[in-house]
Each structure stands twice: as structure tokens, then as C-alpha cells.
Structure 1
Amino acid sequence: MNYSFEYIDIILLAMIAGFIFLRLRGILGKRTGFEGKAPAQFDKILKETVVKQVPKQANVFDEEAQKEFLKGAQIAYETIITDFSDNDNKITTSKPLLNKDIYNQFNEALKERNSRGYYAEITFIGINSAVIKEHKKEDKILNVTVNFIAEVITCIKDKNKKIISGDPEKIKKIYDTWVFSRDMTSANPNWQLVDTLT
């Protein structure tokens, strides 16, 4: 009698195992994405879409692109000026916006200022204008020169708080010409400051 119960148990377990196997096969065996070669009509549509997108990816610096660039350039300008006015030993916030040479130049200027015991007080008022002077593409690199006119309140003081230069009560208009650069084939959309012209 015990043997018959054992056989029944074995049969039941086999049926359960078979059911689970069929369920798993039904779930795992299904294709959830496209596999194989695309039909000819879809392949043609895909090629046409890629061709249409090429001009945009060729990075034409048209009027719309220039407007977007200037918005970013003004933000970068304020960020860099403000960062340089901080009394740290080196540039921090704006580091990604500077190429290696400019970053090193700014840091050297900060070190020299700090070594003399000077510190800066700069209040950024705003940008009056930002105009693209020229843009040149060399191979895959696009350089854009921008003329900035901005207003700041600035002064340099020594460790005894004596004013060395500037006026903490007067708004000063500053004129800067900066050159930004970007590899137009790069997926990275960020521009970097590569030169400051006087």
C-alpha cells in the first residue's frame, strides 16, 4: 500500500515538474525584441532617416545654433568671472569650462595674488552684451570669438583691508574678448574657453 502512494507521489511530482517546464519554456522561449534582418522597406526608411540627420550632425553653426551658443557663453562667462573672484588657491567651479592652458594661467594668477596677501571683492552685476565677433572651423574644431561687455563692482584689498585697486562703491564696465572652442564631432556638447584676447 505504501508503494502505491509512493508511485502516486512520483507521478504527481513529475506532472508538476512538467507543468513548470512548459510554463518556463513559454515565458523564456518567447522573443521580446526584433531579431533577424529588417524587411527591405524598413531598411530603406532607416537609411533615409540617417541621411536626413547628417546635416544636423555635420554641426552647421547656423543662426539658431549661434543663439544657443551665446546663451551658454554668457553663463560660462559669469561662472568663470565669479570663480576667479573667489579667494581660493585655485579654480574649482569653472574648471570644466577651461582648457588646460587657461586653467593653469588662471591658477597662477590666483597663486600670485594670494602670495602677496591680496584678496578680491567682486560683485557681478550683469552682461550688457555678448556678440559673436567671428567663428572659424579648422578640421573638426570650431573656434568662436565673443565680445563681452559686462558690469562689475570690483576691488583688490591687502591683508589689512587697504584698497590696492578698484572701487567697492563703483560699478565698472569691462570689455572682454574670449575664444571658445569645441570638437564638433564629439558627443560632448560642452565648449571650453581657450583664449582671452586684449
Structure 2
Amino acid sequence: MFYVVLLAMVAGFLAMRLYSVLGKRTGHEQPLPRAAEERPAQVPIARTVDATPEQRTIANRNIEPRAEPALRSIVAGEPGFDVNQFLEGAQAAYRMTLEAFWKGDADTLATLANDDVRAAFVEAIEARKAAGETLDNRLVTIERAVIADAAVSGRDASITVRFDADIAAITRNEAGEVIAGSLTDAVETHDVWTFARTLKSSDPNWKLADTDEA
């Protein structure tokens, strides 16, 4: 599970990066949704005023049906939220987290994950260091990212994304010798990550709240 996470960057830049790609807010958000009987029965999952039919099809293809009700609640609570943009940001966060974990960059992980997930990553990093091992991994490609589920409880929202990716992985010992893996043979990986955020909070960033394998 822990062989899934990302690249060292300056903390300030990371915050700006995630602000722009994960749950971007426009500064014109409206209050949280009214009671169900006071609002329209259906709220568009993604902003479609300027979207082409093809863009809307892409959004639908990348969302599993069970996630749609909660996504509508998120959009109703923060009209600036856009599903397609979130998925692009989730893929960027996936790459950044993987690379930071592989490099043992705990500070970067703190900007991307909540305290529990970061602590688990750090524990795995320390165990790796104690064994005298280093990772020489590379995320070759993300084949697909799909919103598999979503949930809203009060103002607490979470979105679960399934990533299908190819990763080339090598483990080296203290002498730099390869003891596992190969950079020439990418391995198919299927990860399920959950991002969470408190809607309408002052922090606009979605943080990694859970990781699992599909």
C-alpha cells in the first residue's frame, strides 16, 4: 500500500499548485445547499455552461453512478467546484505524493496528506531507511483516473478516486545494488485514494485521507 506516493517541491509552491488543481475556489461561492425541498432536484455535477457535449461525456465516463449524489451535493455547496478539474488535480496529487514518498520527503507529504496518512508514510520511510534501502521508482503513466465514490456528512466531504497506472520500480541496498524490481518493466497498479476537505473552510485544498489497493 505504501509504495504509492510523491515528488519534493517547495511547500509554498505546492500549496499554490494544489489550490489551482484540486478543488479550486473562485471567490464567489454561495452558502451551503438549502433543504432538499427548497432546491432543484438535480444539480449538474460539473459546470456545463461552456462545456461541449464531448466534455460532458468525458465527465460522465469518469464517474461511477454511486458517486453522483454526493458530487451533486458538493457542487451545490461550492458552485466553483468542477469534476473534470478535480480529476486533473487528483492525478497531479497522485504523482506528487508518490514521488515524495519514494524520495522520503516527509515535509512535502505533510502538505498533501492528513496527519494519519502522513504518519503512516513516515513510518514506512523510516523502516526503509533502517533497512538501508532506497527506492528508484518512476510513474510511467496514469492510464485512467475514475471517481469511484463520494460522500458528504455535514460540511465534511470526501471523494474516492481509482487510479490505474504503470509504475517502474527498483529497490536498492546501501551499496546501491538492485535487490528488487526493474526500471525496464513497468508494473500495472490499481490504487484507490480518498481525498477529503471541509466545505466552505478557509483551506481550499483537498488532502489525501486514505489509500488502498483496488
Q: Same fold (TM over 0.5)?
A: yes
Q: Does 1:119 align with 2:134?
A: yes
Instruction: Kindly report which structure 2 residues correspond to 1:80-91, keeping only aligned pairs within 5 A, or say none.
Output: 80-86=97-103, 88=104, 90-91=105-106
2: CA distance, partners of 1:61 / 1:99 = 29
Q: What corresponds to 1:70 in structure 2?
A: 87
Larger Rg computed on CA atoms = 1
User: Structure 1 stretches (4+) deviating beyond 6 angstroms?
Assistant: none
The amino acid of 1:54's aligned partner reads Q
Unaligned runs of 5+ in 1: 1-51
1: CA distance, partners of 2:185 / 2:127 = 25
Q: Alignment partner of 1:185: what SS? A: coil
Q: Does 1:161 align with 2:176?
A: yes
Q: Alignment partner of 2:183: what SS? A: coil
Q: What corresponds to 1:152 in structure 2?
A: 167
Q: Does 1:195 align with 2:171?
A: no
Over residues 5-64 of structure 1, what are the superposed CA-to-partner deviations in whole Å (9 max), with x where a residue is unaligned? xxxxxxxxxxxxxxxxxxxxxxxxxxxxxxxxxxxxxxxxxxxxxxx9636x64x78224
1: CA distance, partners of 2:209 / 2:112 = 9
Q: In the superposition, relative to structure 1, how do residues 103 and 61 fare at CA in structure 2: closer, same or farther (>3 Å)?
A: farther
Q: What corresponds to 1:46 in structure 2?
A: none
Superposition RMSD in Å: 2.0
Q: What corresponds to 1:135 in structure 2?
A: 150
The amino acid of 2:132's aligned partner reads G
1:79 CA drift (Å): 0.1
Q: What corresponds to 2:64 in structure 1?
A: none
Q: In the superposition, relative to structure 1, how do residues 101 and 61 fare at CA in structure 2: closer, same or farther (>3 Å)?
A: farther
2: CA distance, partners of 1:147 / 1:73 = 10
What is the TM-score normalised by the length of structure 1? 0.66
1:187 CA drift (Å): 2.8
- Counting matched residue pairs gives 143
The amino acid of 1:85's aligned partner reads W
What is the TM-score normalised by the length of structure 2? 0.62
Structure showing the higher helix proportion among its residues:
1
The amino acid of 2:46's aligned partner reads E
Q: In the superposition, relative to structure 1, how do residues 118 and 180 fare at CA in structure 2: closer, same or farther (>3 Å)?
A: same
% identical equivalent positions: 28
Q: Alignment partner of 2:137: what SS? A: strand
**Higher RCO (CA < 8 A, seq sep 6+):** 2
